[in-house]
Structure 1
Amino acid sequence: MSDSSSLNCGSGGGATTYPQLRIASVFIILIGSTSGALFPVLAQRTKLFHVPKGVFDFAKFFGSGVIIATAFIHLLSPALDELGSPCLSPAWQQYPYALALAMLSIFSIFIVELVAFRWGTSKLAALGLTHDPHGHGLGAHAAHGPEHGASPTGLDDDSNSEKANEDIEAAHEHNHLDFHAAAQIIGVFILEFGVLLHSLLIGLTLAVDPNFKILFVVIIFHQTFEGLGIGSRLAYLRLPRQYNYVAVCAALLYGITTPLGIAIGLGFKSTYNPGSTTASIVSGVLDALSAGILLYTGLVELIAHEFIFNKDMINGSNGRIAYAITCMLFGTGIMALLGRWA
């Protein structure tokens, strides 16, 4: 540990070198982030692009690896450094707060999701519907309503009875689709929340960091790859037509977050310093919470659901499974390597 005379705790403002390039970085990263997140969504939902299914599969598994590496290397590791900084009071050194906050985040997301799914499943059960908690098929078994029998007039009326049954089944299926859509939207919100916090923080850091050039290049790749991971997941959302805007809005929100962070950092560059005590605490807490969110999402929602609970994977060929795992590890490796510089 450095002695107090050489310790730099970020007094004053941030770096002001390369002012024009820092301003340009807002637009350069906006293009990279938005393109990475929006391209898979548009390619899947419109006829503007003709992208083979194999490319989507690669992007999907690659993106899972990117998200997990982001959690460990780009969020949890910095959180440990920030909350363990010698600039903080000795009380921060007495307990691994970053790990505790990440654990708190994981269990909080788990409990919220468990309660939400139990409540939703009970509502569907009351309607005579079932839901697969692993998300592989809706498993709808709508009640068929009253059996064919006498009409109120005392005469058999098969056509009216069939019409009534169809109306009941349609209403049940509508409720089921609404629940399924809500479950997916909640999952997207959880994933986006963790990623957006991280994106905002690295934007703030880039705006005032003295090692701007190296960090700038790394963040361009970082945000593009992470955007590809987010976008490929958004592209696979199966939502009713009236909710199609959710995927596009989520991709655009991801695209503007880091540029927004850079713009805010440039606006407060005379007072904001990422090495200051306050900034270290705020960044460390948010990074730790975001790490827990992405760890839960990556390991449970992506890996477990995509491999262990996915019938296509369980019954698929060894080659398909090996390809999927290779794509995922490739994404993890690339994102982990970027952690060498940022």
Structure 2
Amino acid sequence: MSESDSSCIDAHGLDTHLHLRIASVFIILACATTGTLFPVLARRSKWLHVPKFVFDFAKYFGSGVIIATAFIHLLAPALEALSSPCLSPAWAEYPYALALCLLSIFSIFIVELVAFRWGTAKLDSIGLRHDPHGHHTGSHAAHGPEGTQTPPSDVEEALQKPQQHHHHLGDSASAQIVGIAILEFGVLLHSVLIGLTLAVDEKFRILFIVIVFHQTFEGLGLGSRLAFIKLPPKYNWVPILAACVFGVSTPVGIAVGLAVRSSYDPGSATASIVSGILDSLSAGILIYTGLVELLAHEFLFSKEMMNSSNGNLVYAIGTMLLGCGLMALLGKWA
């Protein structure tokens, strides 16, 4: 018991690699922002023709990364933090980390449901015409006055397949926006936390390398989703803003961690409770997003995926498993 007691006492040997810790703010800022912005800008650029399979790779790889992150990089540390011997025995009486994760999953579900209903009504009023089932309002809507505000791809879709009904929420703009907002939120919370951890962790070097990869992959996954949201032209800045916010999130965490590092001891009981709770909640957000938004919507409910060739399906699943596997493997070191 003596060893665990001593590990609960403040350990301030945190001034190792201080310059590198400060540099890491800028290095990660550059990598994460580039990773997230690249797909968004590449999709819009006239001269940079990135083939669709590259986007698909980033998208499915990103899905795998997000699901593995939830279980291996969030839920596992949360369970560990909340069962730390430094905490009062009351914490050991119930699996709080799992309960908080469960709470988070259902909260996100309810938030998404409410936001979707509200968002659909809101978007209808700005001229993105979708009914609650995500059906396009038929071919005539494309010729009507609101046709001018509908993005061209939607007009084409509405013209080409007026009879084809999409029976899932994934197609409608409001569902996409709500889904992305929730994904962004989960990823942001998580990114700020890993930044905080990086600033104060003893095993800085290896963690730093892992997080650079981690944030770049996660950025690519998020960016390739942001790149494909269908928005009216005047809202085109939204994906770019979302990408930049993601890029800034981890550096903000590192900066906060460096600022409070003298008073924040990663081994203390308070730190364990705070990081355990936040990790559990982020895990729930990413589990929900990963399984519902990404797996179910990208595969099971996607007309495109269901009608595509076996090769295409195998490619998408393989890519996702690769992302998941690599991220799960990183869990060995970080």
Same topology, TM > 0.5: yes
Determine whether 1:70 maps to 2:62: no
Q: Which moved more, 1:219-228 or 1:88-97?
A: 219-228
Amino acid of the structure 2 residue aligned with 1:261: G
Contact 2:130 2:172 survives alignment (8 Å): no
- Going from structure 1 to structure 2, the CA distance change for 1:217 and 1:312 (only over 3 Å counts) comes to same
Number of paired residues? 314
| 2:137 maps to which of 140, 147, 166 | 140
Structure 1 residue 172, shift from structure 2 partner: 11
Q: Which runs of 5+ in 1 are unaligned?
A: 145-164
Cα separation, 2, equivalents of 1:95 and 1:105: 17
Mapping for residues 1-342 of structure 1, pairs under 5 Å: 2-3=1-2, 6-13=5-12, 15-47=14-46, 49-119=48-118, 131=131, 133=133, 138-141=135-138, 166-167=144-145, 180-342=172-334
Q: Which runs of 5+ in 2 are unaligned?
A: 156-170
Q: Which moved more, 1:92-101 or 1:234-243?
A: 234-243
Deviations along 1:150-174, one digit per CA (max 9) or x if unpaired, are xxxxxxxxxxxxxxx944x659979
Deviations along 1:29-82, one digit per CA (max 9) or x if unpaired, are 111111111111111122353211111111111111111111111111111111
- Going from structure 1 to structure 2, the CA distance change for 1:173 and 1:60 (only over 3 Å counts) comes to closer
Structure 1 residue 110, shift from structure 2 partner: 0.9
Equivalence for 1:151: none
| Percent identity over paired residues | 64
- Going from structure 1 to structure 2, the CA distance change for 1:36 and 1:166 (only over 3 Å counts) comes to closer
Cα separation, 2, equivalents of 1:16 and 1:172: 55
TM-score (norm 1): 0.84
Structure 1 residue 222, shift from structure 2 partner: 1.1
Cα separation, 1, equivalents of 2:310 and 2:226: 27
Cα separation, 2, equivalents of 1:97 and 1:217: 31
SS in 2 for 1:47: coil
Q: Rg: which structure is higher?
A: 1
Contact 2:11 2:267 survives alignment (8 Å): no
Cα separation, 2, equivalents of 1:113 and 1:140: 23
Equivalence for 2:158: none
- Going from structure 1 to structure 2, the CA distance change for 1:231 and 1:87 (only over 3 Å counts) comes to same
Amino acid of the structure 1 residue aligned with 2:278: L
RMSD: 2.8
Q: Which moved more, 1:43-52 or 1:317-326?
A: 43-52
TM-score (norm 2): 0.85
Contact 2:192 2:252 survives alignment (8 Å): yes
Structure 1 residue 225, shift from structure 2 partner: 1.1
Contact 1:14 1:270 survives alignment (8 Å): no
Contact 2:5 2:86 survives alignment (8 Å): no
Amino acid of the structure 1 residue aligned with 2:22: I
